[in-house]
Amino acid sequence: MDIWFYVGIGLILWAIKDLFMGYTYLWEPVARDENPGLYWFTLAVWSLIGIGTIGYSVGYL
């Protein structure tokens, strides 16, 4: 496994943490209560990049 596997794991853990905390970071903090569309979009992007990075590093993509 290379470094990108661990980067993907970190992004997945970051997305999970953001689910529990209720806010995430893009260029500035994005709160689930204040801007739910951007919050869920950002979480989806972090998750997809994390899954894609893991898949690429183990040879599935």
- Give the pTM: 0.82
Mean pLDDT of the chain: 92
Q: What is the pLDDT of residue 61?
A: 66
Q: Is residue 45 over pLDDT 80?
A: yes
Angle between helices 36-58 and 3-21 (to 10 degrees): 160
Q: Where are the domains of the chain?
A: 3-58
Report the candidate in 54, 48, 43 with the shortest Cα–Cα distance to residue 17: 43
Dihedral (CA of 44, 14, 49, 59) sign: negative
Mean pLDDT of 31-38: 94
Mean pLDDT of 14-29: 91
